Amino acid sequence: MDELTAGLFNPFASEEVAPPNSSHWEAKRRLAEAVRQLNDLLVSTVASDAELAQASAQVEALNRTLADTPRLHGTLAYLKSGEHGHYGEINHELNAVGGQSNPLAPGLNMWLDGNRAYGTVRCGLAYEGPPGFVHGGFVAAIFDQFLGMAQVAGGQPGMTGTLTVRYLRPTPLNTELKLSAQLSRAEDRKTLVSGELRAGGEITATAEGLFVRPSRGMAAMAEMAVGNSGQ
């Protein structure tokens, strides 16, 4: 374990979404949920052009306000600030697919039980691909994150090397989706994880992920990332 992987189990110890570890993350989760709702409203509203222009001006004003606040660019900057928790907690808030405080993330919840992982996720209208169904790219992203966290139970977390998704039937929007995964194999630096996605008891997709612990270690990977965060 290094500074990135230490504590990664913590957020996934129970079926309940791990609570925010500070008032900062609590406030940010509220804002993220409001932005998720905004996204859902944006893709569904057929308001007039004038109403849309007014809404745009309001959001643009809010963006200017937030742009003037102190900012941290990327999870490593949050970690180095020493004020926002350990890496597992920061990732739990900001991750693109599983982050509670990241409105891009669909609200994926997951928990580990031995070498099995379970999860739930609900994709709103903004995730529509085929009419009424979740975009296949997001199904793959959900598997990448879910299997990626499940492999942590193997004790040698790595990066996704290969992810294979089999789409068996369309995955419905606005439905509680259930995820499960298990470690199939862990040897040397490689961990194989397989999983399923269900809607109303029916499997809509299965996936297999091969995760490879980088030869240079996860911390070295993080150092390679310095400068990528658009400061």
Ligand X SMILES: CCCCCCCCCCCC(=O)SCCNC(=O)CCNC(=O)[C@H](O)C(C)(C)COP(=O)(O)OP(=O)(O)OC[C@H]1O[C@@H](n2cnc3c(N)ncnc32)[C@H](O)[C@@H]1OP(=O)(O)O
Q: In whole angstroms, give the CA distance from residue 7 to residue 5.
A: 6
Of 162 and 229, CB closest to ligand X:
162
Residue 159 touching ligand X (CB under 6 A): yes
Of 125 and 135, CB closest to ligand X:
135
DSSP string, 63-115: HHHHHTS----SHHHHHHHTSS--HHHHHHHH-TTT-TT-TTS---EEEEETT
The residue within the footprint of ligand X, chosen from 7, 124, 129, 161 (CB under 6 A), is: 161
Of 133 and 143, CB closest to ligand X:
143
Torsion from C-alpha of 193, 197, 203, 208, nearest 10 degrees:
-20
Q: Of the candidates 164, 151, 223, which has an alpha carbon nearest to the alpha carbon of residue 190? A: 151
- Within 191-220, the residues that bind ligand X by CB under 6 A are 210, 212, 214-215, 218
Of all residues in the shown chain, the one whose CB is closest to ligand X is: 148
Residue 7 touching ligand X (CB under 6 A): no
Sites of contact with ligand X (CB under 6 A): 4-5, 8, 144-145, 148, 152, 157, 159-162, 188-190, 210, 212, 214-215, 218
